[in-house]
Structure formats: structure tokens, C-alpha cells
Amino acid sequence: MAAAPDERGPGPAAGEQLQQQHVGCQVFPERLAQGKPQQGFLSSFFTNNQKCQLMLLQTLETNAYVKLLLDAMKHSGCAVNKERHFSCEDCNGNVSGGFDASVSQIVLCQNNIGHQAHMNRVVTHELIHAFDHCRAHVDWFTNVRHLACSEVRAANLSGDCSLLNEIFRLHFGLKRHHQTCVRDRAIRSILAVRNISKEVAQKAVDEVFESCFNDHEPFGRIPHNKTYARYAHRDFQNRDRYYSNI
């Protein structure tokens, strides 16, 4: 994530640039108004997005899911800087956040994130996209299967489909419920940022579901709650120390 797109090789073609702009502006109108990513944490600290910035800081410093992902990003050569890689902005619709791959920045929807637990889930979800962007050549803008895979992983590993969250949504008691939740939320996420039919989104998710659902990196397991996430973070740190001593 620290490596900007132009540091990975030649920039996108003109058609892809237009596609990136179209996708981003559907959901993040401030990106169109500014024509560039927001300045981030320090420059906007005392504006009306102060609550968003404070919740973000709390998440980065205390959340077990996020701490593991930050360590994994650094280990992969994509260290995250909160001033550069996060931006609190107003968003259209009910979207809570997004990963703007064109500038390697996570957008947090300050008008839709209402409390700390919500911020924790959104940052975790988007950092999984950032991790995928770091470790693989993801074609976010023209290959819906690539997007579908990352959305499956984010729904599976971020806690979006935890039992507690599903009880609050009044969704529970079904056989293989976790898989059903992951599939449904991945489809919803795709439809929120792509102007495609539900059938196309479902087909993309179904085609990649098995392999992407079983890809648990960097957690090594599905972290169903904060305790699992803490154990996963401990195991990641121990694994990192082991390989560094070989």
C-alpha cells in the first residue's frame, strides 16, 4: 500500500483511468471535486470530521484485527501511514468505506460511520483489500472476479459475518450460515461500487468463492471474534520471528 501505483510499473491506460474515475466518483463524490486524494489525518483534524479521525486513531492503536493487518502490510513491504493512506470523507448512499486503488488510499465515510465498533469493522475490511493490493496484481477496475475474490476475503476475515453482527441483523440459525453471509455481503459490496447486474455479481462471487473463502492470509484462520484475532496476531508475530531467524 505504501508503494504508489506508479512505483509498480507503467501507469494505467487512458481507458482504465476513466474507469477508475467513474467508479470512484459514483460513491466518493469528494474525489471528483478535489481531483486528488484528500490530505488525510493531520490536515483535517479540527474540521467537522474530527469524530471520524478520533475513531480511526482508536482503531489503529487498539483493534486486534487491524494491528495484525498493519504488521502484515509492513512485512510485505507496504507499510501503512495513517496521514497518507486514510481519508475521512462524505460518501453517497449507505457505503461505509472503500479502498481507492488508484491512489492506494482507504476512504472512510464520515457521514455513515456512527460508532467505534463500526469503524473497527470498516477499517479491517478495507485493510484486507489493501493487503490484497499489496501482495497481488489485482485488476480492481476491469476484472470483476478479482474484485469478487477480495470482497469474499474481506467479508470472511473482517468480522462482518460474526455471530454477534448477524444476530443484530436478525440473520441467524441457518445451516452454513457463515458462508451464506460471506457470499451475500460480497455481492452487496460489489453492487455498491460497480454498475453491473446482480446476476453478474453473483456469478463472479460463485466462480471464485471456494478458493477465496479458504484463503485466510494473513490471519491463518477465520478470526470469528476479537479473541481469535488476538491469537492470530500472536501467531503471525511468532511466525515472523521464526522466519527472520532462519
Catalytic positions, please?
126
User: Between β-strands 97-100 and 105-109, what pairing exists: parallel, antiparallel or unpaired?
Assistant: antiparallel
Q: Residue 4 phi/psi, 5° resolution?
A: -70, 160
- Nearest C-alpha neighbor of 233 from the set 48, 70, 8, 21: 70
The 3-state DSSP class for residue 163 equals helix
Cell of 142: 476491469
Cell of 91: 460518501
Question: What does each C-alpha distance from 146 to 55, 56, 138, 140, 153 come to in angstroms?
Answer: 30, 27, 6, 6, 11
Which residues are CB-contacts of 40 (< 8 A; sequence separation ≥ 6)?
82, 83, 84, 85, 86, 87, 105
